[in-house]
Chain A
Amino acid sequence: MSLKIDNLHVSIGEKPIVRGLTLEIQPGEVHAIMGVNGSGKSTLAKAIAGHPDYTITSGTVTMDGEDILGWESDERSRKGLFLAFQYPNEIPGVSNANFIRAAVQARLGEGEELDAVEYYERLYSKMDELGIPREFTARSVNEGFSGGEKKRNEILQMMMVTPKYGVMDETDSGLDIDALKVVAAGVNAQRGPNLGLLLITHYQRLLNYIEPDFVHVMVDGHIVQSGGKELALQLEDKGYDQFREPSPALVS
């Protein structure tokens, strides 16, 4: 049982972005990938989730032994993969309650109808955990939301669809410290033996609140070093330069 990424290569158009990345996440584990902008972190996240603009040129991604690369993104989601977006999209005219309901309903078998009362009870209790006011249910998905509200909404959706593996793409970006604490508390509440998490972040700050089991440093599309949470602190201290291969242009 694991989300296993093996020697993955991803291109956008003709341009290779992720270049030979290998990583395995077991249920119950929290991994953090750290890297500067342009290191390929977000590309990795979107490729795993099945964004059609990202081409897998080689390598495999399996979830609990099943190859997921042949599946559309909706199937990956229903089978237990969740991507929390860095920039969640707006869906004008569709209320949050209806959107999340559709996502939960999508996981039920054919002919099975979601019980509305149970659904709302669960939704409200998760919203309370995240400090989201009730009026939120009637607002259009992410429309006019602050950065913090959008990220909270991502976590709420993750809580509601109970994935096996969650990939969180720069969930900390755009959050002030209070919002960050709330979001982190929400994520921590979900930690447990049934959920494997991959946090993607630029900054160490998030890891003060969500403590990872493993930290990986990503440079130029692959992992250059892995270690425990102390690696994040080391990065904070010395920066990413220590891992960067010298640029051939500069050497010559």
Chain B
Amino acid sequence: METDKAQIDIDRSAGDFSYPMNYEFDAGTGLTEATVDYISGVKEEPEWIRDFRRQALRTFFKKPMPTNWASRDLENIIFNDIRYYLSSGTKPKRSWDDVSPEMKQTFERLGIPEQERKFLAGVEAQFDSEAAYSNIKKVAADQGVIFVGSTEGLKEHPEIFRKWFGKVIPVGDNKFSALNAAVFSGGSFIYVPPGVKVKHPLQAYFRINAESFGQFERTLIIADEGAEVTYMEGCTAPKFETATLHSAVVELVALKGAKIQYITVQNWSNNVFNLVTKRGLAHEDAEIKWIDCNIGSRLTMKYPGVVMKGRRARGEVISIALANDGQHQDTGAKMVHAADDTTSNVVSKSISVGTGRATYRGLVHVPKHLKGCKNNTECDALLINPHSRTDTYPAISVRGNRHAMQHEASVSQVSAEQIFYMMSRGLTESQAMSLSVNGFVNDLVRQFPMEYSVELKRLIELQMEGSVG
């Protein structure tokens, strides 16, 4: 059967809209030390952060683009054409009624206040550079949970913030972590006190509204001993002709016996370069789980990692990537075992549609002096059309012989016979295709909270709609 009919008109109507804004603060176009100082000034930041930013900027300029191993498409990012800071004030509102009508309308259209009422313990809604809204429900706040924006976090809770900020992901980790460190704004700061288990998820929603803009949120989550928290993030942007840059840094710290689950449903429009560094530090008996789902963007480069620092720590990355025409999802996982009896699990599923390209890069590191470490890696790729592409680059460095490692990879294609079978039951070709793609990722989607799995299935259906003629 011929499935090479691609050429797609994807329905991104859900996120593809914008309202005109008058920004009070605008760092202008281009990136110099003045840009960094401007941001620090608007935010009235302490001196140590100002220095941190300046130093990071120098690191950013020094570091080459990683095109020796990554996509050359990175060269199409013109840093001098980007706007690095746009906001209408740095103080997020605690009530939706106080949020400006344009922003409120935006988030209402995206369903955020509704989700908040239904099933979330707290929400932060970022609009370009700053959170427009940030609120935590009383029940969580009463338990001592802190959920604020990064700017507020560093000012109001310096004793916790400063201890961990930049410690999981050093400034110079890569060129884009340095960029983020220089111009970061927005993102969440979360602290969960010892033993507190936050029952409902906390959610952040990142919205890019402006053209030729760069969003650089910075998130730091600390779960103290025995604490548990689930954090979810979603994101959208209207589709512009020009490139938009999203470069976040997310650091997680799970202290002894703590559990952090971090869920991302990334649905950027496909003019967005999404270059994100995410890493967690898991102490003794702690568990960090990244559930990472990439549907949108032009180029995504993201390899969530866990450094298992304490004995019996566990790290997990569950990822789903869907690369449609003109998209490259370059995703994966980094598992660094740094203590005995640590366990990591990576399950990655990618779907390439049309000319879309999905790349998996995995790193598993176990040094020689350790014992009893376990890793399981599974990565499965599904190709929809003859021109779809997938690549896998696993890097497993395991020293010593007291460990158990397992790696499985598969590439499959939706078979014409399978599609015919479904069509002979009355399903259209695109319904058949989307059912079989949903089937492919089903075991992973089931791990999502229900509200998100429904959303994810719907997104996959939308993506598949145009993939067959």
Contact = CB atoms under 8 A, between A and B. Distances in A.
Interface of A: 49-53, 72-74, 76-78, 82-83, 85, 88-94, 98-99, 102-103, 106-107, 140, 157, 161
B355 interface: no
B425 A77 contact: yes
B96 interface: no
B449 interface: no
Contacts of A90: 418
B435 A74 contact: no
Contacts of B428: 74, 106
B4 to A, nearest CB: 13
Contact of A77 (B416, B426, B438): B426
B439 A91 contact: yes
Interface in B417-456: 417-418, 420-429, 431-432, 435-436, 438-443
Contact of B440 (A93, A99, A107): A93
B415 interface: yes
B439 A74 contact: no
A75 to B, nearest CB: 8
B1 A52 contact: yes
Contact of B425 (A51, A52, A72, A106): A106
A111 to B, nearest CB: 16
A102 B416 contact: no
A73 B424 contact: yes
B427 A103 contact: yes
A136 to B, nearest CB: 16
B421 A93 contact: no
A89 B421 contact: yes
A168 to B, nearest CB: 13
Would you call the interface of chain B mostly helix, strand, loop, or mixed? helix
B439 A73 contact: no
B2 interface: yes
B438 A93 contact: yes
A73 B423 contact: yes
B442 A93 contact: yes
A94 B417 contact: no
Contacts of B443: 93
A11 B429 CA distance: 23
A118 B441 CA distance: 28
Given A91-B435, A91-B436, A106-B431, A74 B442 contact: no
21 contacts: A49-B424, A52-B1, A52-B416, A72-B423, A74-B423, A74-B429, A77-B423, A78-B426, A82-B424, A88-B421, A91-B421, A91-B422, A93-B438, A93-B443, A94-B436, A94-B439, A103-B427, A106-B427, A106-B431, A107-B426, A140-B439
B413 to A, nearest CB: 13
A161 B440 contact: no
A90 B417 CA distance: 10
Contacts of A85: 421, 424
- Which of A51, A107, A140 has the most chain B CB within a 10 Å cutoff? A51
8 shortest interchain CB distances as A-B pairs = A93-B439, A93-B442, A94-B439, A106-B426, A89-B421, A103-B425, A77-B426, A74-B423
Contacts of A73: 420, 423-424
Given A74-B429, A88-B421, A94-B442, 8 more contacts: A50-B424, A72-B429, A76-B424, A77-B424, A77-B426, A93-B438, A93-B443, A102-B435
Given A52-B1, A52-B416, A93 B441 contact: yes
Nearest to B432: A74
Given A52-B416, A89-B417, A94 B424 contact: no
Interface in B1-49: 1-2
A58 to B, nearest CB: 23
B426 A53 contact: no
Contact of A102 (B421, B431, B440): B431
Interface in B316-332: none
Contacts of B423: 50, 72-74, 77
A51 B415 CA distance: 13
Contacts of B417: 89
Contacts of B439: 91-94, 140
A116 to B, nearest CB: 15
Contact of A74 (B1, B418, B424): B424
Contacts of A98: 435
B31 to A, nearest CB: 45
Nearest to A160: B425
Nearest to B418: A89
A84 to B, nearest CB: 10
Contacts of A161: 425-426
Contacts of B420: 51-52, 73, 89
A52 B2 contact: yes
Contacts of A76: 424
A102 B436 CA distance: 12
B429 to A, nearest CB: 7
Residue of B1, B427, B432 with most chain A CB atoms under a 10 A cut-off: B427
B419 to A, nearest CB: 9
Contacts of A52: 1-2, 416, 420
Contacts of A82: 424
Contacts of A53: 1, 416
A94 B415 contact: no
A94 to B, nearest CB: 4
A76 B438 CA distance: 25
Interface string B383-396: 00000000000000
A97 to B, nearest CB: 13
B208 to A, nearest CB: 33
Nearest to B428: A74
B239 to A, nearest CB: 28
A89 B425 contact: no
Nearest to B422: A91
